[in-house]
């Protein structure tokens, strides 16, 4: 079957998987360990997701940047984040079935996320064992997060990716801006963690409520 795209690049949190429960739990455990009288709610946590773990930590605990002292607190959070993410996430409905169909149609599948790379790879290996991703890339403190495209362009060169035949699938304004910076089409999943009033005003090419809709976008059906 012919396709509209050869490369489909995915965000992870809020797009392929619901990771919010683990992040909420990690924030609240960290707050207790930091002796902060604060209980993060589901909605508060949701509004923090999207810009990577460092940005999430800074916004949650009102830091402007990480210095040597704050880095130890960030590492405290990351220890909890790692433990809670591995055991507290679920793959969204229809995701594995759709990925399998795309794979069977020789579509190249890539994950490019602001999630810390070690945790991202662990999550992928736990729940996506039957999906062969061309590349899985997460973030670390040395890399600028999405919507910056600097590191991803190195992957484009490494894998000889044709951006004219590529599309990005995400759920947040960072994902839409990332796709716009790459000058590629974007699918926004409105079941994730984004502010969809703001996103709709930016007019993404595609807005979907069910992951199954992706098949009609990617494949010529």
CA distance 160 to 176: 22
Residue at 2 is within a domain: no
Task: Please check the confidence at residue 205 and state whether its pLDDT lies above 70.
Answer: yes
The more confident residue out of 49 and 9 is 9
> Residue 37 is part of which domain span?
20-87
Q: Is 113 helix (H, G, I), strand (E, B) or coil?
A: strand
Identify the bridge partners of residue 80 per DSSP, sorted by sequence position.
Answer: none
Instruction: Specify whether 128 is located in the same domain as 83.
Output: no
Residue ending a domain, choose from 87, 119, 135: 87
Q: 23-76: per-residue pLDDT in tens?
A: 999 999 999 999 999 999 999 999 898 778 888 999 999 887 877 777 888 889
Domain assignment of residue 156, yes or no:
yes
Which pLDDT band, with edges at 50, 70 and 90, does 13 fall under? very high
Residues 149 and 198 in one domain: yes
More confident residue, 55 or 10: 10
Residues 47 and 135 in one domain: no
* pTM score of the predicted model: 0.90
Domain boundary residue among 66, 87, 108? 87
* Within-domain flag for 62: yes
Residues 101 and 53 reside in one and the same domain = no
* Same domain as 176, residue 130: yes
Q: Same structural domain for residues 106 and 140? A: yes
| Lowest-confidence segment of 47-51, 160-164, 181-185 by average pLDDT | 47-51
Q: Which long-range contacts (CB under 8 A, 24 or more apart) does 25-32 make?
A: 25/80, 25/84, 25/88, 26/77, 26/80, 26/81, 26/83, 26/84, 26/85, 27/60, 27/77, 29/80, 29/84, 30/61, 30/73, 30/76, 30/77, 30/80, 31/61
What per-residue confidence (pLDDT) applies to 86?
86
Q: Please give the C-alpha separations between residue 30 and each of 1, 12, 24, 75, 168, in angstroms, as whole numbers.
A: 49, 23, 10, 10, 33
Confidence check: pLDDT of 118 > 70:
yes
Query: Are 190 and 208 part of one and the same domain?
Result: yes
How many domains are contained in the chain?
A: 2
pLDDT at 221: 60
- Average pLDDT, integer, range 162-181: 97
Q: 72 lies in a domain?
A: yes
Domain end (from 35, 55, 87): 87
pLDDT greater than 80 at residue 220: no
């Amino acid at each position: 079957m012919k396709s509209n795209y050869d490369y489909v690049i995915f965000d992870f949190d809020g797009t392929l998987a619901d990771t919010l429960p683990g992040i909420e739990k990690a924030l609240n455990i960290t707050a207790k360990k930091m002796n902060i009288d604060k209980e993060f709610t589901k909605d508060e946590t949701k509004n923090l997701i999207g810009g990577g773990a460092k940005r999430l930590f800074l916004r949650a605990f009102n830091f402007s940047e990480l210095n040597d002292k704050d880095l130890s607190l960030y590492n405290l959070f990351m220890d909890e984040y790692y433990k809670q993410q591995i055991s507290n996430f679920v793959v969204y409905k229809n995701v594995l079935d759709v990925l399998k169909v795309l794979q069977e149609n020789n579509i190249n599948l890539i994950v490019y996320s602001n999630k810390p790379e070690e945790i991202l790879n662990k999550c992928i290996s736990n729940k996506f064992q039957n999906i062969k991703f061309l590349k899985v890339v997460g973030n670390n403190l040395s890399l600028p997060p999405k919507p910056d495209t600097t590191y991803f362009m190195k992957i484009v060169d490494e894998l000889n990716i044709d951006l004219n035949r590529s599309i990005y699938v995400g759920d947040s304004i960072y994902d839409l801006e990332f796709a716009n910076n790459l000058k590629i089409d974007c699918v926004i999943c409105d079941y994730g963690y984004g502010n969809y009033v703001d996103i709709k005003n930016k007019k993404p090419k595609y807005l979907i409520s069910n992951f199954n809709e992706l098949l009609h976008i990617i494949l010529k059906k």
